[in-house]
Amino acid sequence: MNRVYKEILNQLNLGVIVFDEHCQLLYVNHFIRDNHKQTVGLGQSLFTQFPELPEAWFRKRVESVIMFHNTSFTQWQYRPHLLNLMETRPITGTHELMYQNASLIYLGHYDARELICLVIQDATQTALTQMKLAKTLNKLNQEHKQLHTLNQQLKEAQSQLVQNEKMAAVGQLAAGVAHEINNPMSFIKSNIECLQHYTQRLVEMGHYLESLLQKQEDQQIIVSLMRQKEALDIEQIEEELPELINETLDGAKRIQDITGSLRDFSRLDSSEWQLADIHEGLESTLKIVNHEIKYTVNEIVKDFGKLPKIYCLPSQLNQVFLNLLVNASHAIDKDGKIIIETRFLEDSNQITIRITDNGAGIPKTILSKIFDPFFTTKEIGTGTGLGLSISYGIIQAHQGSIEVNSTIDQGTSFLITLPINPPISTSLSDQSL
C-alpha cells in the first residue's frame, strides 16, 4: 500500500515536500525533483536545497503552523516563486520560473518529530492570464481617461469656437456699423455747424429788428414786442441756444471719434506691416474698451514716453492692448487703477509698453499657464482662453517679448518689449536698398 501512496504522490500535479520542525528535508515528490534546477538531496536543510526560500520568514511560518496545528498559505501575487521551480512548458512557456500557490500543512508528531508538508501548486497559467488582464484593464482605464479628457477638451474647444465666431462676427458688425454711422454722422455734424452759424445770424437779425423798432415812436408796437418776447421766453432761448448747439456738436464729435476709433482699431483696410505710432493705437484701444472698463476702473494713468514710430501690424498690436486692458479690468473688483507706461530704449532700439493693474493678481501656480491656448479661469463660455495666447503669438510675430509679474491682492503687470525694426523688416528693407 505504501508503494501505492508513493505512486499517487509522484503522479500528482502538485509539488510535495515533507520536512521536520528544524526544516530538515525528509521527502520530495517527482514534481519537485523534475522541475527544480538542482538535484534535491534528502536529509539536508531545506534552505541549502532551496536557497531562494527566505529563511527567517519561512521558519516563523513553520513555527506558527506547529503552534496552531493549522495550514498556512502563500499566493502567487505576493510570493510568485517561493521555490525556483521551472515553468512546466519549456517550448511554449514565456517565463522561466513557475508561479506558485503554496500551502504549509501540519502533518503531526511522528517519531519525536513534528512533520510539516509544503504543497506547491502550479499557478503559472492563472497568474499570466490575470496579469495580462490587469495590464489590459489598466490600459483600457488609461485610454478611457484620455478619451474623457479629449472629450472635455473638445467640448471646451467647441464652446470657445462658438464664442470666437461670435466675437469675430461682433467685431465685423461693429466695424461695419461704425462705417455706416460715420457717413450720416459727417453730415449731421456739418449740418449742426451750419445750424450754429444760421442761428447766430438769426439771433443777430432779431437784435437788429428790435433796435430798429426801439427807434420809432409808436410805443404800442414796442410794448407789444416786449410782451411777445417775454411770452416766448426769447431771452432765455438766446442764452441757451449756443450752449445747446455746442453740446450737440460735441456729442456728434464724440460719436465720430468712437466710430473712427472702431475703424482704426479693426483696420479692416490695412493688415500690412507699416510704420505706426503706438500711442495712437493705445488711445484708440482705450476709447474702445472705455465702456467695458469704466465700471471698475476709476483711473487710467497714461505715462507715455517719447516713442518713435515702429514697424508693426498696428491692428494686431491693438488686439494685444485690448486683451491686456480687458483682462486688467476683469481682475479688478472696484476702485481700479490702470497704469500704461511707454518707454523708448535707445540702446537696444526697442520700445516697452507696461500695463499695470491693481487687481486680484494671478496665483503663482497658474502663472506659467496663462499664455497657454485655451487656459482660462473664467467660466466656460465667458472667456475664450485664447486672449493671452493670441497676444503672445502676435508679440512673437513682432520679434518682441511679453512678460508677466503678479502679486496676489496687489496686481499684475504685463511688460511688452518690441523692436523698432523687427529683424524681418530690416532684412526686407536691406534687400530693397
Partner 1 sequence: MTDTSMHPEVPIEVDELRKDALQEIFNISMGQAADSLACLVKDRVYLSVPQMHWVEKSDVQDLKAAMKRVPKGIIICQPFSGYLKGEILVCYEQGADFTVIGESLAYTKEQVQKWQHELLLDITNILGGACLRGVADQLNIRLEFGAPNLIDRHSEVTTILLNSSSIWDKALVMEIGFSVQSMSMTSDILICMPEQYINKLFKCIDHLLE
* Interface residue list for partner 1 (CB under 8 A): 54, 56-57, 59-61, 63-64, 67-75, 77-79, 101, 103
- Give me the sign of the Cα torsion angle 188, 191, 192, 193: positive
Distance of alpha carbon 182 from alpha carbon 185, whole angstroms: 5
Coil, strand or helix: which one is 378? Answer: coil
Considering the complex, what minimum distance in angstroms separates the CB of residue 104 from partner 1?
Answer: 10
Coil, strand or helix: which one is 90? Answer: coil
Considering the complex, what minimum distance in angstroms separates the CB of residue 373 from partner 1?
Answer: 39
User: Looking at beta carbons only, is 74 or 315 nearer to partner 1?
Assistant: 74
Strands of the 113-122 sheet, one edge to the other: 25-28, 14-20, 113-122, 100-110, 71-74
Distance of alpha carbon 55 from alpha carbon 42, whole angstroms: 18
Considering the complex, what minimum distance in angstroms separates the CB of residue 62 from partner 1?
Answer: 11
User: Looking at beta carbons only, is 54 or 108 nearer to partner 1?
Assistant: 54
Considering the complex, what minimum distance in angstroms separates the CB of residue 141 from partner 1?
Answer: 17
Considering the complex, what minimum distance in angstroms separates the CB of residue 95 from partner 1?
Answer: 21
User: Looking at beta carbons only, is 75 or 130 nearer to partner 1?
Assistant: 75
Give me the torsion for CA of 288, 340, 301, 284, rounded to 10°.
Answer: -20
Kindly report the length of the chain. Answer: 433
Distance of alpha carbon 234 from alpha carbon 199, whole angstroms: 13
Q: Residue 128 has which C-alpha cell?
A: 499570466
User: Looking at beta carbons only, is 25 or 123 nearer to partner 1?
Assistant: 123
Residues 6+ apart with CB under 8 A from 421: 310, 311, 349, 429
Considering the complex, what minimum distance in angstroms separates the CB of residue 119 from partner 1?
Answer: 11
Distance of alpha carbon 245 from alpha carbon 191, whole angstroms: 11
User: Looking at beta carbons only, is 72 or 358 nearer to partner 1?
Assistant: 72
User: Looking at beta carbons only, is 45 or 75 nearer to partner 1?
Assistant: 75
User: Looking at beta carbons only, is 129 or 214 nearer to partner 1?
Assistant: 129
Distance of alpha carbon 264 from alpha carbon 314, whole angstroms: 9
Considering the complex, what minimum distance in angstroms separates the CB of residue 10 from partner 1?
Answer: 24
